[in-house]
Amino acid sequence: MDSLSQLVEYTRPGEEKYLIVTGRGLRLRTNFNPPMEFESASTGYEIALLRVETYFSFPNINSSNNRLRLSIDRGEKWSEIEIPTGCYDIDSINDAVQSFMVEIYGEKEKEKHVIFSANKNTLKCVLEIRDAFTIVDFKVENSLRAVLGFNAKQYKKKGKFESENIVNILNVNSILVHCDIVAASRLNGIEAPVIYSFFPDVSPGQKIVSQPKHLIYLPLTMSVITSMTSWMTDQNQKPLDLRGEELTLTYHIRKRR
């Protein structure tokens, strides 16, 4: 088929459709009125994701891993620290801890007792205890140790302690876009309606605009579509919390060639 014939084929009315869905929340459900009708699915209609737009807002610190217990008087009194949900690196975790120290003990105690820093060579976290009275307790539930790599124990005495494990500062390794009207996709060998996989090339807080370099079309599972649900997860199919940010997905449906 020559290029002109291809152009005519691609733009023939009814042969292709562009779908844009947008909203807030973990799952975007779109109802079509009237329904989208195609020839029998066996004739081969397929869909690809063209574009993802949202913000890098999914947190690495939340209520499951944000707690720390600390004493500056050898355990006579303890303070509970809970870091607010958000996107953090080790330096910003340390800043949050220092803010709590100021709130609890006053400005003069900032960076006097404990400091967290990164060892970029070993990919571990360094806990520096700056006096003989301070105790840092990682045995609490929903502890920061899950992020910083420390064991579930108390650290005491003046000195530097490197985490036993490498940090797990970002547990999202890949973002998967799901669409419930596709087939022929598998995740770890199990059928899953995944239409696109990517990871942001921007920093936390910035706009994500992701477009596949090469479109991959997957077959539709039905010939009459009354609704479609889209959602995003991490590589373990854990729903991605965009914290209320807008998510916009652009799809293209065409007849299989």
Same domain, 176 and 121: no
For residue 139, give its domain range.
67-162
Lowest mean pLDDT segment, chosen from 56-60, 120-124, 180-184, 250-254:
180-184
The confidence score (pLDDT) of residue 42 equals 58
Where residue 180 sits, what CATH number does that domain have?
2.60.120
The confidence score (pLDDT) of residue 199 equals 96
Supply the DSSP string of 114-141, one letter for each residue.
EEEEEETTTTEEEEEE-STT-EEE--ST
What digits encode the pLDDT tens for the residues 198-249? 999 998 999 999 999 999 999 999 889 999 999 999 999 999 999 999 999 9
- CA distances for 64 relative to 36, 74, 84, 207, angstroms: 42, 27, 11, 26
What digits encode the pLDDT tens for the residues 77-112? 999 999 999 999 999 999 999 999 999 888 887 888
**How many structural domains comprise the chain?**
2
Report residue 39's pLDDT band, with 50, 70 and 90 as the boundaries.
confident
Give domain status of residue 53, yes or no: yes
Same domain, 49 and 135: no
Same domain, 50 and 90: no
The CA radius of gyration of the chain, in Å to the nearest whole number, is: 25
pLDDT of residue 9 exceeding 90: no
How far apart, in whole angstroms, are the C-alpha atoms of residue 236 and residue 212?
21
Same domain, 93 and 117: yes
Same domain, 19 and 45: yes
Give domain status of residue 78, yes or no: yes
Same domain, 147 and 74: yes
* Range list of β-strands (E), the chain: 16-23, 27-37, 45-55, 67-71, 79-82, 114-119, 124-129, 135-137, 154-156, 159-162, 175-179, 186-187, 190-191, 194-198, 207-210, 218-219, 224-233, 247-255
Environment class of 190 (CB within 10 Å of its CB; exposed 0-12, middle 13-18, buried 19+): exposed
The confidence score (pLDDT) of residue 10 equals 39
Same domain, 82 and 49: no
Same domain, 120 and 142: yes
Same domain, 210 and 83: no
Same domain, 176 and 199: yes
Q: Please, are residues 53 and 208 in contact by the beta-carbon 8 Å criterion?
A: yes
Same domain, 78 and 148: yes
Domain boundary among 162, 191, 207: 162
Domain boundary among 107, 133, 162: 162
The confidence score (pLDDT) of residue 4 equals 40
Give domain status of residue 31, yes or no: yes
Where do we find the tokens 């209520």?
Answer: 63
How far apart, in whole angstroms, are the C-alpha atoms of residue 28 and residue 117?
39
Same domain, 47 and 77: no
What is the average pLDDT score of the chain? 90
The confidence score (pLDDT) of residue 43 equals 57
pLDDT of residue 6 exceeding 80: no
How far apart, in whole angstroms, are the C-alpha atoms of residue 71 and residue 75?
5
The confidence score (pLDDT) of residue 14 equals 56
pLDDT > 70: percent of the chain: 93
Average pLDDT for residues 116-143, to the nearest whole number?
96
Give domain status of residue 137, yes or no: yes
What digits encode the pLDDT tens for the residues 187-199? 998 889 999 999 9
Give domain status of residue 167, yes or no: no
Average pLDDT for residues 2-12, to the nearest whole number?
39
pLDDT of residue 75 exceeding 90: yes
The confidence score (pLDDT) of residue 141 equals 95
Contacts of 97 (CB under 8 A, 6+ apart): 68, 81, 83, 114, 116
